[in-house]
Structures are given as structure tokens and as C-alpha cells.
Amino acid sequence: MKKEKIMDNEENNDFVNETIDDSLDSEDLETDTMVSKDADPIKDKIKPKDILDLPGIGPTSAEKLKAAGFDTYEAIAVASPMELVAIAGLGEGTAIKCIKAARDSLEMGFESADILLEKRKMIDKITTGSASLDELLAGGIESQSITEVYGMFASGKSQWCFQLCVTTQLPKDKGGLEGSVLYIDTENSFRPERVSQMAIAKGLDPDEVMKKIFVARAYNSDHQMLLAEKAVDLIKEKNIKLLIVDSLTSQFRSEFTGRGQLSDRQQKLNKHMRLLQKVAELYNVAVFVTNQVMSRPDVLFGDPTDAIGGNVVKHASKTRLYLRKSSGSKRIAKLVDSPALPDGEVAYNVTEKGIED
């Protein structure tokens, strides 16, 4: 019966606790009971709004605008009235009203720097498990923004995810946040046994650690995007401090293959990144994503690899690390274009215990 519940939940796109054995009580497995039905003003900000709700937009004009790519409040907010007039046949006055409503609802305003500084003071950091990596990152993986690791197959991206599942749960004086983790798994690569191994190495009870990791398998890019929206429901209820997407781009990459589909893919990916960014900022959680690399035939010398997703992913990820294998258990992480930290690279190890110096 319990097993059936888990399967049901997976099919209903919910997050489930992954367990090594099935000895958890059903409350931990039942995600329906965790989802808050209460209105949440923060959640309202994250939920994509339908442009149909804007003043002056009926179903026909909404259809025309969507077809022309003006399918979000963001897109309408930065449009010119004449564009809307031309595309949807709105009157100029209506177009102006509609743009104003989109802008108001997005709160596209200025914030004074002292408020920004206050917000930044609330940034939490999660230890990577390696002192030299933490130093490279000025303390660890940050809340309020997206951190991206990219690298080739087996460069250790998923190892980072597993390790952070554990370190997020550590007490604050050990570099953790005593928080839980949401894990969106797009490649079916989550391995609870491996997380368990790392938990034991940190002196934590692996069963307790598993109960605080909520995993959902994403079957395609739409599903992945939906899961990110659903994540919001769990964040406050479960004291989530870290949201992982491993891998960010694999579903998008396999679904949008042709050259002609590239702009569709980028638009969708952009929407996904914006949602992740909002989740990070509004809920003060760390968002950690992994990304693959593609070989670049045009680069003959230097590093022939570049991350998938182009500028869309590059700009949304505040901290980016390029991972590569060295000899044995040794790995190299290179910090790439961080807005406030110097570029640099450090060596660390991936061992049975996890990530360490």
C-alpha cells in the first residue's frame, strides 16, 4: 500500500522522500498533505500570470499576443503601446492601460541600496565540504541566487548535489543551515545510498537525513518547470534551504534538437531560470543547478567546452563553476565570471566520504 502511494505521487508530479528502505511513516511520503492551500502573497508573485487577466485583453487579443511571443506580464510590461496596437488590434489607450497594469503588478521599481544591503546581509551560505572550495566561494553556496556547476560527464556534478543534500542539514556552526532540500532529478541520477554514505561521513543519522530530502523526477521540460512551481508549496512548510535541479538543461536539450527550435528552447529555459531566481530571492533559499557542456568545434585552442543554454543560463546563474577531472579522486573547480569574487580555481577531492580537501 505504501509503495503504491509513492508511485501515485510520482505520477502526480509531486515530490517524494526517497528512502533506502520503506520504513518511513506515511506522513513523510504523502505530499498532498504538505501542500498549503492558503493564499501566499510571495507565491502569487512567483506564479506565472495569464495575460488574459490584464485590463482590455480579451481571449482573441490574448491569443494574438501569445502567438507573437508576448505571453507573459514581463513581455507586456516592456512592450511599446504601438506594438500591442499592431499585434492585437487594441486601441492605443487600452494598450497603455494594459502595459501599466503589467508594470504595476511586477513591481518594476527601484530599491535603495541600503535595502539591498540589508537583504544581502540575510544571505546564508552552505558549506561544500571542502575548505578550499568554500574559500573560493567566499563561504559556500549562497542563498538568494542561482549557483551553477557545469562540466563533462562524470566530472562530479551530481556528487556536489548529493554532498549539498547533506551539508545543508548540518548545524550552523558546522557550515550548514539545519534545513531541508528539494531535489528535481531530470536524469534519474539521484542515489540515496550515496547520500547516505556522505551523511554517515559527516556524523549524521542517514535515516534522518533522507527524511529531509524531497525528490521529484522530471520526465520532460514542461514537467520540470511545473515541479519548480510546485516547489514553492513545500519551501516554507518543510524549512527548505536548498533547491537542486540536476540537470538543468538535459530535458530541454533532448526535446529541442533542431536549429529552428533553438529560440523556443531558449525562451522556455529563460522562463524556468526566472522562476528559479525568484524562488531564491523571495524565499531566501539557495538554488543549485548542474549543466552539461558541449564541444565547440570552432575553438581550436584553449578550452573547447562551453555550457549549454548560452546567455540565458549564463546570466541567470550568479555563481558559475566549471568542474573537471584530474588524476585519481582529484577534481578541479574553476570559478567563472562572478560579479563580486575574483576568478580562480582550486583542487578538491571526491572520495567515498564525499567532497573534501
Site of interaction with ligand ADP (CB under 6 A): 151, 153-159, 194, 350-352
Residue 221 within binding range of Mg ion, rule CB under 5 A: no
> Does residue 244 contact residue 183 with C-beta atoms inside 8 Å?
yes
Cβ closest to Mg ion, residue 157 vs residue 194: 157
Residue 158 within binding range of Mg ion, rule CB under 5 A: yes
Q: In residues, how long is the chain?
A: 357
Query: Least Å distance between CB 126 and ligand ADP?
Result: 18
> Does residue 296 contact residue 305 with C-beta atoms inside 8 Å?
yes
Taking Cα atoms as reference points, which of 143, 142, 161, 141 lies closest to residue 151? Answer: 161
Please choose which of ligand ADP, Mg ion, none residue 143 contacts, taking the beta carbon within 5 to 8 angstroms, the exact cut-off set by kind.
none
Cβ closest to Mg ion, residue 190 vs residue 283: 190
Cβ closest to Mg ion, residue 5 vs residue 325: 325
The C-alpha atoms of residue 13 and residue 91 are separated, in whole angstroms, by 42
The C-alpha atoms of residue 135 and residue 263 are separated, in whole angstroms, by 38
Please choose which of Mg ion, ligand ADP, none residue 351 contacts, taking the beta carbon within 5 to 8 angstroms, the exact cut-off set by kind.
ligand ADP
Burial level of 154, CB count in 10 A (0-12/13-18/19+)?
exposed
Query: Least Å distance between CB 104 and ligand ADP?
Result: 43
Please choose which of ligand ADP, Mg ion, none residue 159 contacts, taking the beta carbon within 5 to 8 angstroms, the exact cut-off set by kind.
ligand ADP
Cβ closest to ligand ADP, residue 130 vs residue 155: 155
For helices 81-88 and 92-106, the axis angle rounded to 10 degrees is 120
Residue 197 within binding range of Mg ion, rule CB under 5 A: no
Cβ closest to ligand ADP, residue 81 vs residue 151: 151
Which of 20-28, 115-123, 133-141, 150-158 is the region at the interface with Mg ion (rule: CB under 5 A)? 150-158
Which of 182-190, 203-211, 255-263, 307-315 is the region at the interface with Mg ion (rule: CB under 5 A)? 182-190
DSSP β-bridge partners for residue 214 = 17, 182
Please choose which of Mg ion, ligand ADP, none residue 215 contacts, taking the beta carbon within 5 to 8 angstroms, the exact cut-off set by kind.
none
**Rg for the chain (alpha carbons), in Å?**
21
Residue 82 phi/psi, 5-degree rounding, is: -65, -30
Task: Give the angle 40-74-147 at the CA atoms, nearest 5°.
Answer: 70
Residue 332 phi/psi, 5-degree rounding, is: -120, 135
Query: Least Å distance between CB 231 and ligand ADP?
Result: 21
Cβ closest to ligand ADP, residue 94 vs residue 247: 247
Residues 24-53 that bind Mg ion (CB under 5 A): none
Cβ closest to ligand ADP, residue 196 vs residue 270: 196
3-state secondary structure of 340: coil
Q: Is it true that the peptide bond before 317 is cis, omega within 30 degrees of 0? A: no
Residues that bind Mg ion (CB under 5 A): 157-158, 189
